[in-house]
Amino acid sequence: MLQPIKMLERRFNLFPAKFFWQGRIYEVEAVNECKTVPGQDADGPAYHFWVRCNGQRLHLCELLSSGKWIVQQD
């Protein structure tokens, strides 16, 4: 299930560092993997980041056409 998040801070103007989700602020401890996926659907191209924060592995996506961020738990 995809859920919107609010990105609060980035590292090197690219990597997620801090975001707001489900009433909490999460700090990214590590970016384990990242890739760019070309536009294959209505949302267009996206950056995908698999991160570790608060003992969880999360999949964050930045939809480049809208600048919106979403999360899904892997």
Strands 68-73 and 30-37: unpaired
- Angle at CA of residue 15, ends 6 and 64, nearest 5°: 65
- In the prediction, which pLDDT does 44 show? 80
- In the prediction, which pLDDT does 23 show? 95
pLDDT digit string (tens) for the chain, length 74 residues: 789 999 999 999 999 999 999 999 999 999 999 999 887 666 688 999 999 998 889 999 999 988 999 998 65
- In the prediction, which pLDDT does 37 show? 87
Compute CA 2 distance to the chain's CA centroid, rounded to the nearest angstrom. 11
d(CA 54, CA 26): 7
d(CA 10, CA 17): 5
- In the prediction, which pLDDT does 43 show? 66
d(CA 65, CA 44): 6
